[in-house]
Amino acid sequence: MKKTYLYLSIMAVALVFLSGCKDKETEQAVAKATVQSAKLQKAHDTKISDATKQTATQLAKDTTQVAKKAVESVKTHAEHTIAAAKKTIQDVVVAQAPGDRGKELYQKCAGCHGGRGEKRALGKSALIAGQSASDLANKLIAYREGKRNVAGMGNLMKTQLASMQKSDILALAEYISTFQTKKGNTE
Ligand code: HEC
Q: Residues near ligand 1 with C-beta < 6 Å? A: 108-109, 111-113, 121-122, 124-126, 128, 136, 139-140, 148-154, 156-157, 160-161, 172
Question: pLDDT of 113-148, one tens digit each?
Answer: 999 999 999 999 999 999 999 999 999 999 999 999
Question: pLDDT of 68-119, one tens digit each?
Answer: 888 898 999 999 988 888 877 776 666 656 569 999 999 999 999 999 999 9
Ligand 1 atom index nearest CA of 109: 37
How far is it, in rounded angstroms, from Cα 26 to Cα 32?
9
Contact 129, 179 (CB under 8 A): yes
CA of 135 to the centre of ligand 1 (A): 13
Q: Is the pTM of this model over 0.75?
A: no
Percent of the chain's residues with pLDDT above 90: 44
Those residues whose C-beta lies under 8 Å from the C-beta of residue 141, and which sit 6 or more positions away, are 166, 169
Mean pLDDT within 28-37: 72
Banded pLDDT at 184 (limits 50, 70, 90): very low
Question: In testing the pocket of ligand 1, which one of 118, 125, 147 has its CB within 8 Å of the most ligand atoms?
Answer: 125
Q: What domains can be seen in the chain, in order of their start residue?
A: 91-176 (1.10.760.10)
How far is it, in rounded angstroms, from Cα 107 to Cα 116?
10
Those residues whose C-beta lies under 8 Å from the C-beta of residue 103, and which sit 6 or more positions away, are 175
How far is it, in rounded angstroms, from Cα 125 to Cα 114?
12
pLDDT over threshold 50, residue 22: yes
